[in-house]
Amino acid sequence: MKHFLLTIDVEDWFQVENLRPWFPMENWSSQESRIEASTRSILDMLGSKRDEQGNTLQATFFVLGWLAHRMPSLVREISAAGHEVASHGYSHQLCLGQPASELRRDLERSKKVLEDILGSAVHGYRAPSFSISREVLALIREAGYSYDASYNSFALNSRYGRLSADVYRRKGIAMDLGEGFYELPLSNLRIWGRSLPCSGGGYFRLLPEMVFKRAVQRILATQDAYHFYIHPWEVDPGQPMQNQIPVLSRFRHYVNLKETLPRLGNLLDSFLYCRFCSCRDYLESIGNSGN
């Protein structure tokens, strides 16, 4: 059985790293929030689909603690629709370069705010801009998470964290970091010893649909799971345009926003033979299979 791990990083349009210089955290409360509508458009699309066995599609939503604190009903809505709710941290500060004490507080605070809303344990964490390292992973485990989903092997984005991925034992696509803690890497295509970015986000919006679909097919030909990410702001063409940001960042942020939701629907339709499960369910299934 092949698995499609669909993951959504729930952050508002002004909380993106590229826009941080113009939208510091102290100004977030005064911005127009569009996260409820954009998250709902993804929830509605998922709710309208069934896999080839007739099952609903489940996903994992990594929710920013700052948003959860202000919009607990959105968190409950995601969970009530059958999806896993996990943490995207509280303040969307990059993990790398942050003092350990501050990162620890952010990891614990975001977990607690979600758990208080849901009344159940939160297991997963995704770092802002995939900014992890061995040291950061140790702090994530200490904060009580059972998995991290932040390792992205694409080497050309300088914000992404680095990890010696080959030293860990694999269970499915997950790396077993010991003591019941796992890293669930994003999926990229390896060609000629290099990683091509095929895990979602801006690359999903930029690459032609057919090219992206073929890449996912190639990944699934050799692995039992494909791990994809997207943000609600990427399906929201009505967000306020920021013309002050550098031209390359602007292009990367706004390219093909109008097309993204239908494209996502097409991508999911092409892989309905897969099991669409949450990250947690995937880790449980490989843990039980003894692979």
Sites of contact with Zn ion (CB under 5 A): 9, 11, 128
The nearer residue to Zn ion, 34 or 213, going by C-beta atoms, is 34
The nearer residue to Zn ion, 43 or 230, going by C-beta atoms, is 230
**Whole-number Å distance between alpha carbons of 126 and 4:** 17
We find the least distance from the C-beta atom of residue 89 to Zn ion, in angstroms, to be 8
We find the least distance from the C-beta atom of residue 214 to Zn ion, in angstroms, to be 27
- Say which DSSP state 56 is in: B
The nearer residue to Zn ion, 233 or 271, going by C-beta atoms, is 233
We find the least distance from the C-beta atom of residue 130 to Zn ion, in angstroms, to be 9
We find the least distance from the C-beta atom of residue 245 to Zn ion, in angstroms, to be 16
* Contacts by residues 249-257 (CB-CB < 8 Å, ≥ 24 positions apart): 249/18, 252/18, 252/202, 252/206, 253/16, 253/18, 253/19, 253/202, 255/202, 255/205, 255/206, 256/205, 256/206, 257/205
The nearer residue to Zn ion, 11 or 234, going by C-beta atoms, is 11
Q: Where are the alpha helices (DSSP H) in the chain?
A: 35-47, 65-70, 72-80, 100-118, 134-142, 201-206, 209-222, 247-254, 257-270, 279-289
Give the CA radius of gyration of the chain.
18
Q: What angle do CA 284, 286, 289 make, to 5 degrees?
A: 110
The nearer residue to Zn ion, 113 or 286, going by C-beta atoms, is 113
We find the least distance from the C-beta atom of residue 9 to Zn ion, in angstroms, to be 5
The nearer residue to Zn ion, 83 or 275, going by C-beta atoms, is 83
The b/e string for 119-151 (b: 16+ C-beta within 10 A; e otherwise) is eeebbbbbbbbbbbeeebbebbbebebbbbbbb
We find the least distance from the C-beta atom of residue 55 to Zn ion, in angstroms, to be 28
